[in-house]
Amino acid sequence: MEVGIVSYGAYLPRYRIAPQEIGRVWGTDGDAMSRNLLIFSKSVPSPDEDVITISIEAARNMMRRCDVSPQDIGAIYVGSESHPYAVKPTGTVVAEAIEASPNLTVADYEFACKAGTAAIQTCMGLVGSGMIRYGVAIGADTSQGAPGDALEYSASAGGAAYLIGAEKVIARINRTCSFTTDTPDFWRREGQCYPMHGGRFTGEPAYFKHVLTAAKNLMATMGTKPSDYNHAVFHQPNGKFPVRAAKQLGFSEKQIEVGLLTPFIGNTYSGAVPLGLASILDVAKPGDRIFAVAYGSGAGSDAFDITVTDEILNLKQGVVPTVKDLVEKKKFLDYATYAKYRGKIKMREAAE
Amino acid sequence: MRDVAIIGIGDTKFGELWDYSFRELGIQAGLAAVADANLTGEEIDALYVGNMSAGRFIEQEHIGALIADYSGMARDHIPATRVEAAGASGGLAFRQGYMAVASGMHDIVVVGGAEKMTDVGDVQSNEIQATAADQQWETIFGATFPSLHAMIARRHMFEYGTTREQLAAVAVKNHKHGSLNPKAQFQKEIKLDTVLKAGPVAEPLGMFDCAPVSDGAAAVVLCPLDKAKKYTDTPVKVLGSGQASDTLALAHRKSITQFDATTLAAKRALKHAGITTADIQLAEVHDNFTISEILAIEDLGFFPKGTGGKATQDGQTSLGARLTVNTSGGLKARGDPMGATGIAQIVELVTQLRGEAGKRQVADARIGLAQNVGGTGATAVVNILGRVN
Amino acid sequence: MAVARFWRENEPRYNLTGSKCGNCGRLYFPPRTVCPVCHRKSIGKMEPFKLKGTGEVMTFSVVHDAPSQFELQKPYVIAIIQMDEGIRVTGQVIDCDPAEVTIGMKVQAVIRKLGEEGPAGVIHYGYKFMPVVTPSAEAPAP
């Protein structure tokens, strides 16, 4: 059977903050940071948003595009590194909120920025083996960077949801392959607010090694070369890494253009490749071939070879915001409001 | 059903009464009423107490027993009942006491109302007041008690052209009346400009559009009319009483710019009393927010719907007008200790009908009406009193 | 800790599911076990009915004096929404400047955090309303 994407949905919070504004407060040259990271703004969640609300909005957008009954969903997996609870899954709230409960399996995933694509792979397996009819894979985050740290300029919020099935598939996932090692480039211990990272160690031995290897392995397996693809999306912790990875593999800037969102919305972590892929699907034509490689610190890469089918023309148009709509709907904040919204200001404990 | 009279009244000052506990306030008012009725205390057959939320303000329930005990009546084991309907607790307690005497069940009944709101902080006090609204479908979504009234105000402004100045006129008038009432929480007049420039609470309502947090208690003594002269030369007769309920949540009402419960309670009370609004010279209405008084004077039938703002602005409810509203200063200036308010309204009417209101006396006061509301109009009770001679 | 009190009403809060009286067809939100018009004739006949989520602002207020759980969001807008189905719901209007809210403004329901029972407590989710957005139709790349 042909397993693939049946529908998809995206969500971005509307607030933004510019690197210059962050730099202003921490005495760093915000312009230089902006240039170094190739990030012009990043998305900021409202105090009443979190990975649960973002996942639900993305999943609801996904359901609105198609005619699948939520009761036919057999599994929901939500990948994130900022689940609202350490224990109590995001996925169960999503299940209730899209009326998919109670006859399904749910679990939350964590693998830094590739938890969402890991969820896609799991759903592919469950659908492909005939265990379920439809599965939902969501990658969403409201990631945090330590105040003044380099990551504060890029860590942002957003998510996308994918309905995986074998009927009326709009984009067939021809193959997925992964490359995984124990590499401590970026981590966060239980109870800590902010992650730690290995500085320049996050480059060559981490991001590039895994992304490039997974990409090459996939193309070797499929017998393809970069020019066989209309679009490509790589994990994008900043605006520069994916451009460098693309170049090293032989992809052009044009091929990665549609899926490269980080310069405008920052790094949405588990949402990054899912949102980039959604941006591509918003404009893809039947027959288009898509190459997607996610990366999660810790470390691993999931690579996907996808072909868009004629069925994409049957997806409902104009019923939910496109990724472009969401990127363009924005309101800039000053650092103080950003810090207030992100819980970075020490508030008084409520007296009982 | 026999006729019932009020033979004694008593009240504490209203305000932030740091020195007095809840039970002390209740007893003060109760003993004053009993003394005013020339009773020793042994004659009392039953006690009714209006109280909204002692359980949350002072972590004490079982208020009927508490007041009976500390006022010395538990020793005589009289029946003591606590009545609750949010801000209308006092008015409902009065009606229950009235029904007990009218039915012949009891002869001498004391009805009191008390609330101690300042033993908790401001934030908690606001949360407790909001329990009068729908906790599951209003408060949890962020609808504070003032914001519900603010939404009524905004819609009233939209439908009838009521202005912020007209809302403010209610506060100015009531502070003027309050300045003539030695028991009022606020005894200073305020300017219209002060009200308009006050910090916003929930737009369009600002700080001076809202009644204060208050401590206080009030009490009255009821007696069958045909026995009243034994105790007092100035009995005041209960002419009529009406009560009505409506949906708890504001959003579920037929109209959100009209309290149907007020309209129906008034109709029932007026019918019971056999009078019309034209027979009434004074009214104590529930102005927990300025908009509430505008709604009250419309819904009670004193002014056509939508004209309450202009009527107030034009002085048609001020001392000296044909109908005076809130001579006590209302909830706004006299204060609003939740459970006590309804009884305080009765105390003011009796004072006026006896001709003992001094500088705030309404000339030739013959019939007075008290309107007490719970929540955003989910409960309303109207009691009408009349001079006997 | 009011865990059960709010869990019990997850369905109406997440999905705007109210009731339809099987006897007279009237709609209610939140759900009811008895129709106030039909009384006993409606017992056992109240069916779940999901609202579409769209409506218009009937009245609103910008709240400045807020309870502690809304500290981060004040001033915020609370409103009564006249839903397309003809019944009214109380909720916040978000995603726009409070100064932009008007009576008659078209809104649609979204899901947001309503609050939490302290940093260690359960988080409550439910509906809020945002101005209706008209999404652009997706188009294939040139």
Of A47, A53, A329, the CB nearest to C125: A53
Instruction: Tell how strand B109-116 and strand B46-50 pair up.
Output: parallel
Residue A79 pLDDT exceeds 80: yes
For residues B370 and B93, give the distance between their C-alpha atoms in angstroms, rounded to a whole number.
Answer: 13
pLDDT of residue B197: 97
- Asked whether the beta carbons of B384 and B269 are under 8 A apart, the reply is yes
Mean pLDDT computed over every residue of chain A: 96
Q: What is the pLDDT of residues C56-107, one digit of tens each?
A: 999 999 999 998 889 899 999 999 999 999 999 999 999 999 999 999 999 9
Q: For residue A84, which residues of chain C lie inside 8 Å, CB to CB?
A: 123
Please tell me if residue C55 touches chain B, with a CB cutoff of 8 Å.
no
Does residue C90 lie in a domain region? yes
Does A4-170+316-341 carry CATH code 1.10.260.40? no
- In 3D space, the residue among B44, B69, B289 whose CA is nearest the CA of residue B164 turns out to be B289
> Chain C interface, mutation test: which of B125, B128, B141, B295, most C Cβ atoms within 10 Å?
B141
CB atoms within 10 A of CB B295: 28
For residues B312 and B318, give the distance between their C-alpha atoms in angstroms, rounded to a whole number.
Answer: 8
Q: Tokens at residue C77, please?
A: 């807008």
Tokens 């504060």 belong to which residue? Answer: A152
CB atoms within 10 A of CB B62: 12
**pLDDT band at A230, cuts 50/70/90?**
very high
The secondary structure of B248-292 as a DSSP string is SSGGGSS-TTS-HHHHHHHHHHHHHHT--GGG--EEE---SBHHH
pLDDT of residue A350: 65
Q: For residue A142, which residues of chain C lie inside 8 Å, CB to CB?
A: none
- Where does CATH 3.40.47.10 sit in chain A? 4-170+316-341, 174-311
Q: What percent of chain B has pLDDT over 70?
A: 100
- Asked whether the beta carbons of B54 and B67 are under 8 A apart, the reply is no
Task: Give yes or no: residues B157 and B248 share one domain.
Answer: yes
- In 3D space, the residue among A262, A255, A226 whose CA is nearest the CA of residue A241 turns out to be A262
Cα separations (Å) of B148 from A28, B376, C62, C125? Answer: 47, 7, 11, 21
- The count of residues in chain A is 352
Domain that holds residue B258: 131-212+239-387
Does residue C23 lie in a domain region? no
Residue C1 pLDDT exceeds 80: no
Does residue B354 lie in a domain region? yes
Average pLDDT rounded to a whole number, residues B120-132 = 94
A53 DSSP assignment: H
pLDDT of residue C142: 39
**pLDDT band at A348, cuts 50/70/90?**
confident
Does residue C140 lie in a domain region? no
Q: For residue A340, which residues of chain C lie inside 8 Å, CB to CB?
A: 72
For residues A57 and C110, give the distance between their C-alpha atoms in angstroms, rounded to a whole number.
Answer: 7
**pLDDT band at B325, cuts 50/70/90?**
very high
Task: Give yes or no: residues B69 and B206 share one domain.
Answer: no
pLDDT of residue A137: 98
pLDDT of residue B341: 98
Chain C residues 33-52 within an 8 A CB cutoff of chain B: none
Residue A169, Cβ density class (10 Å: 0-12 exposed, 13-18 middle, ≥19 buried): buried
**pLDDT band at C118, cuts 50/70/90?**
confident
The nearest CA of chain C is from the CA of B366 a distance in Å of 40
Average pLDDT rounded to a whole number, residues A246-274 = 98
pLDDT of residue C84: 98
Does residue B33 lie in a domain region? yes
- Asked whether the beta carbons of A306 and A218 are under 8 A apart, the reply is no
8 Å CB contact of C90 and B155: no
Task: Give yes or no: residues B38 and B143 share one domain.
Answer: no
Q: Which of A49, A57, A66, A113 is catalytic?
A: A113
Residue C117 pLDDT exceeds 90: no
pLDDT of residue A63: 98
Of A53, A57, A283, the CB nearest to C139: A283
Mean pLDDT computed over every residue of chain B: 97
The nearest CA of chain A is from the CA of C74 a distance in Å of 11
Tell me, what CATH number does B24's domain have?
A: 3.40.47.10
Residue A332 pLDDT exceeds 60: yes
Task: Give yes or no: residues B205 and B220 share one domain.
Answer: no
Task: Give yes or no: residues B167 and B314 share one domain.
Answer: yes
For residues A183 and A203, give the distance between their C-alpha atoms in angstroms, rounded to a whole number.
Answer: 12
Task: Answer yes or no: A66 catalytic.
Answer: no
Q: What is the pLDDT of residues A131-178, one digit of tens each?
A: 999 999 999 999 999 999 999 999 999 999 999 999 999 999 999 999
Please tell me if residue B250 touches chain C, with a CB cutoff of 8 Å.
yes
Please tell me if residue C78 touches chain B, with a CB cutoff of 8 Å.
yes
Task: Give yes or no: residues B140 and B273 share one domain.
Answer: yes
Q: What is the pLDDT of residues B77-121, one digit of tens each?
A: 999 999 999 999 999 999 999 999 999 999 999 999 999 999 999
Residue B356 pLDDT exceeds 60: yes
Task: Answer yes or no: A81 catalytic.
Answer: yes
Residues 6 or more apart whose CB falls under 8 angstroms from that of B288 comprise B87, B149, B210, B211, B331, B332, B336, B373
The region, left, alpha or beta by phi > 0 then psi within -120 to 50, assigned to residue A112 is left
Please tell me if residue B126 touches chain C, with a CB cutoff of 8 Å.
yes
Residue C139 pLDDT exceeds 60: no
Task: Give yes or no: residues B299 and B193 share one domain.
Answer: yes
**pLDDT band at C138, cuts 50/70/90?**
low
Residue A9 pLDDT exceeds 70: yes
Cα separations (Å) of A292 from A175, A230, A267, B254, C83? Answer: 11, 11, 16, 56, 42
Residue B129 pLDDT exceeds 90: yes
Question: What's the number of domains chain C is made of?
Answer: 1
Average pLDDT rounded to a whole number, residues A38-59 = 98
pLDDT of residue B75: 83
The ipTM (two decimal places) reads 0.94
The nearest CA of chain C is from the CA of B7 a distance in Å of 41
pTM attached to this predicted model: 0.94
Residues forming beta bridges with residue A157, ordered by sequence position: A142
Task: Give yes or no: residues B258 and B164 share one domain.
Answer: yes
Average pLDDT rounded to a whole number, residues A105-133 = 98
> Chain B interface, mutation test: which of C8, C19, C29, C80, most B Cβ atoms within 10 Å?
C80
Backbone angles phi, psi at B240, to 5 degrees: -165, 155
A174-311 homologous superfamily: Thiolase/Chalcone synthase (3.40.47.10)
Residue A352 pLDDT exceeds 90: no
Tell me, what CATH number does C71's domain have?
A: 2.40.50.840
Question: What's the number of domains chain B is made of?
Answer: 2
8 Å CB contact of B199 and C89: no
Q: For residue C3, which residues of chain A lie inside 8 Å, CB to CB?
A: none
Please tell me if residue C111 touches chain B, with a CB cutoff of 8 Å.
no
8 Å CB contact of A85 and C15: no
**pLDDT band at C7, cuts 50/70/90?**
very high
Of C5, C63, C115, the CB nearest to B147: C63
Domain that holds residue C72: 3-16+51-131
Domain boundary among B236, B251, B271: B236
The nearest CA of chain B is from the CA of C75 a distance in Å of 9
pLDDT of residue C137: 67
pLDDT of residue C55: 98
For residues A52 and A93, give the distance between their C-alpha atoms in angstroms, rounded to a whole number.
Answer: 7
Average pLDDT rounded to a whole number, residues B173-181 = 98
Average pLDDT rounded to a whole number, residues A286-293 = 98
Q: What is the pLDDT of residues B22-79, one digit of tens each?
A: 999 999 999 999 999 999 999 999 999 999 999 999 999 999 999 999 998 888 999 9
Does residue B126 lie in a domain region? no
Task: Give yes or no: residues B161 and B305 share one domain.
Answer: yes
8 Å CB contact of A329 and C10: no
- In 3D space, the residue among C63, C66, C77, C59 whose CA is nearest the CA of residue B200 turns out to be C63
Task: Give yes or no: residues B225 and B339 share one domain.
Answer: no
